[in-house]
Amino acid sequence: KHRGPDGEGVLLINTYTGETKSLRTKDTPENIKCHYQELSEVPENQFNLLLGHRRLSIIDLSVQGHQPMQVEEVSLIYNGEIYNYLELKEELKAKGRTFKTNSDSEVLIQAYLEWGAGCLNKFNGMWTFVLWDNSKQKLFIANDRFGVKPLYYTQVEEKTILVSEIKQYFDFTSFKREFNKEYFDDYIKVGSTNIGVETPFYKVKRFPCGHFTELKTKDGFRKEFFKEYYSIYNIKKEKWKEKDAINTFKEIFSDAVKVRTRTDVPYGVGLSGGLDSSSVLLEVKKMLNEKGSKEKPFTFSAIFPGQKEDESSHVNEVLKSIHSKSFFTNPFEEFNIGDFEKHIYDLEFLPRTTSFFAQWKVAQLARREKVPVVLVGQGADEVFGGYHAHFFRYGRALLLDGKFLTYKKLLHKYSEVKGIPIKNLNNRCIGEVKLSMKVKMGLIKFKHPFTKWWNEIDKLSDFMKAEFSEFQLPFYLLADDRTSMACSVETRHPFLDYRVVEFGYSLPEKFYIKDGWQKWIIREAMDELPSSIRWRKDKKGFSIPQNEIENKIMLSKNTKDNFQFRPEMIRVLKDALA
C-alpha cells in the first residue's frame, strides 16, 4: 500500500477461456465498475491468473488511469513512468490508434499492440510490467533497461508469484522464509551481495534488468525464457570533438530533465550540494524560466550541522543562485533505533552504508510537504567517471598502454586539483599496475569471484560499466526505490535517461578525467552553476556521519564492545524479515 496509496485494483483472468472479471476491494475507487463486490462471490478454481495493482497517482489523476487497465484484449499492471509518452502517443495516433485516457499506461498498451516486444526500445523511462495478451494467449513481462524499478519472482506449489517487494510474499501461507546463506556470507566477506539476481531468500529471484519474457501460462515460469533486449556493453566508443561533446550533453541532459518533470502532481529535486543534483536543479530552473514561469522549485536536502560530512554550505551556495522552496532534514539529530530498523525492513537488503537512512528521511520530508515526485542526481558518477577509484583505474590503463607522457600530465593536474602529493598518487597507480599483472599471472587468489572481477578490469570504461551494472549503481537504485516508495514518493533519474548513458559511454576515456577534473564534461556543460559548485574539488557523494550513527546504534543496544556493522545489519534484516 505504501507503493501506491491512491487506489487498488484486482483483475481475475481465465487464460484458457479468456474470461476476465474485476474484483472490488476496500481501496478500489467507488466509480470503478466491478463484477464481484466481495471475494466470497468469486467461484473457486475459475481463474488461474490474478493481476493486482496499487496506484500512486502521478499522471492522469482521474479514475481513467486506474489499473489493471484493459484495452482491446490486453490487460496491464505497470509500475513506473514512460517519460516520452506524449511523443509516442502522437506517433501512435499517426498510425491510426485512438486513446481514451491521458495516461502513459494506455500509451504502453497501444505501443505493445503496435510494435510487440519492439515497444521496449521505444520507451524512455523506468518500468516493470506484466501484460496479458488474450488474443495471443500469452504473458509479456518486462523490466526497464537499468533495473530502476524492481520485480521479483518465485514459484510456490505450482503457483508463480511476481511482486515489487519481497515482503509481499509474507501474505502467502505457502511461502517458506528460508534465508539464503550464501547471500549473507557474501556480505560478511566483501560487504556486498549480488542484488542483480539474488535476494535474502533462497527461492526468491530478481527479474533481470534489460530483459523481457513472453510465455504461455502452461509453460510455467522459467528463467531460461528471459530475452535480453538491452545491454550497456553494446555501446561503442565514438570520436568526439570537445565542443560537440559539450553541446550534445547540454542538449540531451536538458531534455532528460524536461521529460522527467512531466507530472500532474508537484515535483521537486533532491539537493545534496554536489555537482550532479545541482545540475538537475539548474536545468529545472532554466526550463521554468523558458516557460516564463516565476515558480520556485522544491528542494529537499539532508544536512548534518557540526559534522564533517555536513554539506549545508554547498547546498546554501546553490540556493543563493537558484532560489527555491527549500526543506531540510537532519537524519543524525532525528535518529532513533526504531526508525533505523524500520528503514532496514523497507530496504529488504543489506546496506553498505547508513546513507540509505538519510535517503529515507529525505523521502519522508518530501511526502510531508505533499511532493510525491523527486528528481535526483543518481547515475552521473558511473557514467562520467566521478568516483575516486576511477582516477587510479585510468592511471593503471594509461601505464599498461604505455602512454607515459599522458599519464605524467594527468598525475600533475590531478595532484593540483586534489592537493594530494604526486608521489602518493603515483605509488597507488603503480600498485594498480602490479595488481593487474599479478591477477593475470594467477599469483593472487581471491576469496570471492566478485573481488576477482573487480581487480582484473583494466580499462576505465569497462570498470565504469561494471560499476553501473554490478558493483555500485544497482545498490543505489534499489535503495532509492525502497526508501522513496516506502514514503509513497517516486524518484526520477535524469542521468539515467538511456540517451545520456549511451552518450556517456560513447565518449573517449580522456573526456572522463581531463586536466585533473573528474566528470569533466558535466563541469564544462554546467557553466551557469556557481563556480564553487561547478569546480568543487572534494567528492563526498551523499555523505552521512557513519561512525556517529554507528555509535548511536551501539548506545541504543547497549553493546559498545565488539560492535561490528555487517553482523549487526544481518541481525536487523533477519529480525525484520523473519
> Is 147 a residue whose pLDDT tops 70?
yes
> Is 177 a residue whose pLDDT tops 90?
yes
> Is 17 a residue whose pLDDT tops 70?
yes
In our burial notation (b when 16+ CB lie closer than 10 A, e otherwise), range 541-553 reads bbbbbeebbeebb
| Of the candidates 102, 386, 454, the residue with the CA atom closest to the CA atom of residue 263 | 102
- Across the range 133-159, mean pLDDT stands at 94
Whether the Cβ atoms of residue 186 and residue 193 lie closer than 8 Å to each other: yes
Confidence of residue 67 (pLDDT cuts 50, 70, 90): very high
Whether the Cβ atoms of residue 179 and residue 194 lie closer than 8 Å to each other: no
* Alpha carbon separation from 555 to 9, 551, 561, 563 (Å, rounded): 45, 6, 11, 11
> Is 221 a residue whose pLDDT tops 70?
no
pLDDT at 417: 95
In Å, the largest CA–CA distance within the chain is 78
Neighbours of 174 (CB within 10 A): 10
154-165 pLDDT, tens digit per residue, is 988 888 999 999
Whether the Cβ atoms of residue 166 and residue 156 lie closer than 8 Å to each other: no
Cα distance between residue 111 and residue 103, in whole Å: 13
- Strands annotated E in 311-361: 325-329
Question: DSSP string spanning 67-133?
Answer: SSEEETTEEEEEEEEETTHHHHHHHHHHTT---S-S-HHHHHHHHHHHHGGGGGGG--EEEEEEEEE
Cα distance between residue 444 and residue 199, in whole Å: 29
Percentage of residues in the chain with pLDDT exceeding 70? 97
Q: Is the dihedral of CA 312, 316, 322, 324 positive or negative?
A: positive
| Of the candidates 533, 528, 382, 524, the residue with the CA atom closest to the CA atom of residue 460 | 382
pLDDT at 558: 66
479-514 pLDDT, tens digit per residue, is 999 999 999 999 999 999 999 999 999 999 999 999
Lowest mean pLDDT among 315-319, 375-379, 382-386, 547-551: 547-551
| Of the candidates 490, 338, 507, 513, the residue with the CA atom closest to the CA atom of residue 3 | 490
SS3 302: strand
Phi first, then psi: give them for residue 189, nearest 5 degrees.
-70, -45
Give percent helix, percent strand, percent coil of the chain, each to the nearest 5: 45, 15, 40
Query: Any alpha helices (H) in 369-448, and if so which ranges?
Result: 380-384, 388-400, 404-418, 422-440
pLDDT at 111: 98
Confidence of residue 543 (pLDDT cuts 50, 70, 90): low
413-448 pLDDT, tens digit per residue, is 999 999 999 999 999 999 999 999 999 898 888 877
pLDDT at 547: 80
- Across the range 183-192, mean pLDDT stands at 87
> Is 220 a residue whose pLDDT tops 70?
no
Whether the Cβ atoms of residue 542 and residue 359 lie closer than 8 Å to each other: yes
| Of the candidates 33, 75, 77, 79, the residue with the CA atom closest to the CA atom of residue 56 | 79
279-308 pLDDT, tens digit per residue, is 999 999 999 999 999 999 999 999 998 888
Cα distance between residue 263 and residue 454, in whole Å: 39
364-400 pLDDT, tens digit per residue, is 999 999 999 999 999 999 999 999 999 999 999 999 9
pLDDT at 540: 60
pTM for this model (two decimals): 0.95
pLDDT at 559: 63
Confidence of residue 542 (pLDDT cuts 50, 70, 90): low
Confidence of residue 560 (pLDDT cuts 50, 70, 90): low
Percentage of residues in the chain with pLDDT exceeding 90? 82
| Of the candidates 315, 327, 375, 322, the residue with the CA atom closest to the CA atom of residue 543 | 315
> Is 541 a residue whose pLDDT tops 60?
no
pLDDT at 153: 94
HEC string of 250-293 equals HHHHHHHHHHCCCCCCCEEEECCCCHHHHHHHHHHHHHHHHCCC
Cα distance between residue 525 and residue 504, in whole Å: 13
User: What average pLDDT does the structure give for the chain?
Assistant: 93
Whether the Cβ atoms of residue 378 and residue 500 lie closer than 8 Å to each other: no
